[in-house]
Amino acid sequence: MSIFDQITALLDAGNARYRVIEHPAEGRSEAIAAIRGTAVGQGAKALVCRVRLTSSLRAHVLAVFPADQQADLARVAAAVGGKKAALADRELAKQLTGCPMGAVPPFSFDPELRLVVDPALATRYPEIAFNAGRLDRSIVLDTADYFRLVQPEQAPLCI
């Protein structure tokens, strides 16, 4: 089952309020917000990070935050008890998410990818928007439904 299908199945099973928007392939936050007709800050940007927990132990984190803000990798590391974080390379990100860069949604279906969301995403807009595992399809989802269904860890992640 594709990532898009997994997301819509989860949303349907949880009676979430959402809509799907088909559009030209686009992964840049500002450009896709204009295409969707949403504010950039409604975008749920998702970054795959590698976090050093100890000298020999690493964790993988999907850091999700408003697309009009910038992630602070030190905060991402601190959120999971790590010492240092870096962006995962394209190959690792695709392996953990099943998605191309720019299409990573704010959902983790891999038990090795820990989901951490900045709490600002919960309070700024009544709906969040994101590319849903594909560069040519977005979902605009009720914010409260996202947090209810996903129940992510929350920590400040932005500068």
Q: CATH number, domain at 86?
A: 3.90.960.10
Q: What is the domain count for the chain?
A: 1
- C-alpha to C-alpha distance for 153 and 41, rounded to whole angstroms: 20
Report yes or no on 148 lying in a domain: yes
Report yes or no on 159 lying in a domain: no
Confidence of residue 101 (pLDDT cuts 50, 70, 90): confident
Report yes or no on 55 lying in a domain: yes
Q: Which of 65, 54, 157, 48 is nearest to 110 (CA)?
A: 48
Rg for the chain, CA atoms, rounded: 15
Domain with 9, as residue range(s), is 3-154
Report yes or no on 129 lying in a domain: yes
pLDDT of residue 135: 94
User: What are the tens digits of pLDDT across the range 51-95?
Assistant: 999 999 999 999 999 999 999 999 999 999 999 999 999 999 999
Question: Among the residues of 23-155, which ranges form H helices?
Answer: 29-36, 73-79, 90-97, 120-123, 143-150
